[in-house]
Chain A
């Protein structure tokens, strides 16, 4: 077993893991942060996307031990300080960008990473960026709309 320590959503968290324990399992099973989901076993679906040191990472492709010392952000840390939905989360609700909700945490985390890289992506850039996130419910239409709206709101906020 290996001791790991990392900052998750701004809080120091630690645990003892097997060498083979994946980051996603550490988050879900040890820290009980069950918002990050597991939808496949081949790193295709993107339901487990989190941010590690500011980069979008599929938490099923990384060992928990590799995240030792890292800054990790999950869906549980995306709301505003007062608990209200953040800009991207609110855009997903406003534009019906989710149905069953299972892929949603990964979608929101990928969208946040995209907008951090590219504040005003085109529709095609959004669709290409979401290559690694599968949604079976929405047909993507409203996810794209939500991210476009979040980008517009984000620029409006930045411009103020």
Chain B
């Protein structure tokens, strides 16, 4: 029977009640007495020299409090980059400055040139329109290959070129990989683009800065996935505010998907300006602003070679990628095409030799950083597309070809040739499960039925693996991270036995307020309703690196388990005293402390009350109170993996692709709340299908953003996606965290694009269009039609 409490229960989400009744408190719902509003005047050219800014007329407009330009930020630190990559020649990456407001030059459409603080948002916007900017438009570099060409216009005059870094991984393998490919029985080559995307959480970003001059304390309310990281970056590197004078609050946040990890100029501006004008300053992004100021995702151009022997055994993989950084380095941008991408190129397979080259390139576009999956979708897409092409060229069934190359269950821990060690997995199990839940045996009949209606039906399959639970600190430190990636939790047991757990993870849709209490309830044997989670406020929680990389439960949840274990140890000492028993004989089950072999017992609430009313208490041995903190730094990444399949119908007359079914068999290790895990997969699948069929962030050759609103950027809607079939029963628990969990937030977005494209190619081949070996995403009707008709 399904559980209704604790680990494994599909507990309903407690946070839903406020969201369903309009009582959520998102950052834009917060208003501080006396607040002003800021509007940013943003560059409308991709590259321009700022000769002068005349704010005279604007300053005289109604309601204007003060106008800021880059000159107000001279001598103030720029936005820092949190990761340094060392290139294949041992050189540090080129790292340009990133000012809060433009200093002398604008480098992408949307780069903030000036900021108007006014009594109302409308007055700020009106006045911004009256600012006169004398700007000389410069040639813009948009295309990555052109940006790397000799003599190209430079995005940053003080750098030697537009090349951020030329990364080789593993450099020592290069010669052996080249040799294996040169001598292989068969080599399949594929050139592809992983297009630029915009994360588009439904809540646009908001920042509200407040300053209390009496005690010199700053408060920033912001739409962030990691308030402590913002406090660290902004306090230490931009504005020089010590931690105890800077409170960062991320209240209810309306989705993140990576783009709310990063420290943005608007956060630093509102914090700075609140002190400068002596009043709170609020910024609420419009969606149009979001398109040109939120960090974008993906944007890789890749060539991959897969070498095989005559049986289809993978011998070597070589991949060359150009990765777009945009105009500046966003917080974690350099890590995405390198350590979050190159380390996953083994996939689920035993390929012995792998070499990854990545050239990161500056262009006059919005900075690119992590978007759901971050590097791992790019790795999965190229590998699983080239395997599909190889299967066709070799005449081997695509599932069979994958099976021949799977890492086997008895090979764990498995050290890949790209520096990571998978702790557990069973790829045959998830593939077998997929064959069942995707009813692969029934495909031929469904294809015949589609053909009878004049449609081409295709089947696509792929595997994926990801590195999640982003950590451990000593490893990521060696790889260039400038911060640790542990997490922290404090378990505060109150006198009546109720519990508040302060966690460093941040929930912006993931349901932590429900799942985290399930874990503590299970450990203590008490009801979930006695436990609440506190998150998102640097003044209330001990520390935290936040939520991204499917790390919340694997890292922060582990910290919470460690802190709860400390609670149990201390509570047993108290219980032993109350029962006049030896501590070692005390057991805790179902919220009762008992002494083995006796009928003695005390309830959870008796012990917690004793901790706070210590009249009968071993004060000489232990302190009163019952509160414990733990920091947890894992020993390894976690490695969720799985197999996905998709069926599509292609209309040969129009090129339109319709998803008929999608099935996902995932191994997430242990699962705390199945309902929430399945919801995470559903959402990821929709984003992956959106990438495969619809979404595309497009610049013209001058750097104008053509897809700058929902009129032009095709978000997946309810009738673009199917009902999904998902399964997570093939679980191989993680071996190195106390919960055995692996993380589930990104899998759907990582694993789904190749299945969709593989299915479209399969459909076209079934219709005799065998010359079509690849179509770049998004696989739009026009691209399908052109591929078929050669137009």
Expressed in whole angstroms, the Cα–Cα distance for A137 and B208 within the complex equals 25
Name the CB-closest residue of B to A88: B20
Contacts of A105-149 to chain B: CB distance below 8 A:
105, 108, 123-124, 126-128, 130-131, 133-144
B402 / chain A contacts, CB cutoff of 8 Å = none
B533 to chain A, nearest CB (A): 16
Contact code string B1-24 (vs A, CB < 8 Å = 1, else 0)? 000000000001101111111111
In the complex, A152 has a CB within 8 A of chain B: no
B684 / chain A contacts, CB cutoff of 8 Å = 139
The answer to whether A141 and B682 touch across the interface, beta carbons within 8 angstroms, is: yes
Expressed in whole angstroms, the Cα–Cα distance for A46 and B287 within the complex equals 13
Partner of B22, one of A34, A94, A144: A34
In the complex, A23 has a CB within 8 A of chain B: no
Partner of A108, one of B20, B204, B675, B718: B20
The answer to whether B254 and A101 touch across the interface, beta carbons within 8 angstroms, is: yes
Name the CB-closest residue of A to B684: A139
B676 / chain A contacts, CB cutoff of 8 Å = 96
Contact code string B673-707 (vs A, CB < 8 Å = 1, else 0)? 00110110011111100000000000000000000
Q: How many A-B contacts are there with CB distance less than 8 Å? A: 180
The answer to whether A99 and B20 touch across the interface, beta carbons within 8 angstroms, is: no
Expressed in whole angstroms, the Cα–Cα distance for A100 and B260 within the complex equals 13
In the complex, A98 has a CB within 8 A of chain B: yes
In the complex where A18-B122, A37-B254 touch, is A139 in contact with B724 (Cβ < 8 A)?
yes
Q: How large is the interface on A (under 10, 10 to 19, 20 to 34, 35 or more residues)?
A: 35 or more
A99 / chain B contacts, CB cutoff of 8 Å = 255, 509-511, 679, 683
In the complex, B721 has a CB within 8 A of chain A: yes
Expressed in whole angstroms, the Cα–Cα distance for A136 and B25 within the complex equals 19
Name the CB-closest residue of A to B203: A102
The answer to whether A136 and B20 touch across the interface, beta carbons within 8 angstroms, is: no
The answer to whether B19 and A123 touch across the interface, beta carbons within 8 angstroms, is: no
B13 / chain A contacts, CB cutoff of 8 Å = 93, 96, 98
B511 / chain A contacts, CB cutoff of 8 Å = 99
B78 to chain A, nearest CB (A): 29
Partner of B16, one of A98, A105, A133: A98
Contacts of B352-383 to chain A: CB distance below 8 A:
none
In the complex, A72 has a CB within 8 A of chain B: no
The answer to whether A101 and B122 touch across the interface, beta carbons within 8 angstroms, is: no
In the complex, B26 has a CB within 8 A of chain A: yes
Expressed in whole angstroms, the Cα–Cα distance for A137 and B202 within the complex equals 9
B20 / chain A contacts, CB cutoff of 8 Å = 75, 78, 85, 89, 92-93, 98, 101, 104, 108
Segment of B94-102, B105-113, B140-148, B708-716 in the binding face: B708-716
In the complex, B257 has a CB within 8 A of chain A: yes
The answer to whether B286 and A41 touch across the interface, beta carbons within 8 angstroms, is: yes
A37 / chain B contacts, CB cutoff of 8 Å = 26, 202-203, 254
The answer to whether A101 and B709 touch across the interface, beta carbons within 8 angstroms, is: no
Interfacial residues, chain B to chain A (CB-CB below 8 A)? 12-13, 15-26, 28-29, 122, 200-204, 252-255, 257, 286-288, 508-511, 675-676, 678-679, 682-687, 709-711, 715-719, 721, 723-724, 748
Q: Can you report 22 residue pairs joining A to B where beta carbons are below 8 Å apart?
A: A33-B22, A34-B25, A41-B287, A93-B20, A98-B19, A99-B510, A101-B16, A102-B24, A104-B19, A127-B719, A128-B718, A130-B719, A131-B719, A134-B202, A134-B710, A136-B202, A137-B202, A138-B683, A139-B686, A139-B748, A142-B679, A142-B682
Contacts A18-B122, A101-B24, A133-B718 aside, 6 further interface pairs with beta carbons under 8 A come to: A37-B203, A38-B204, A40-B287, A100-B254, A101-B18, A135-B718
Interfacial residues, chain A to chain B (CB-CB below 8 A)? 18, 20, 28, 33-42, 44-45, 47, 74-76, 78-79, 85, 89, 92-94, 96, 98-105, 108, 123-124, 126-128, 130-131, 133-144
Instruction: Identify the 7 closest CB pairs spanning chains A and B, nearest first.
Output: A35-B22, A101-B19, A102-B254, A139-B686, A100-B509, A44-B710, A99-B509
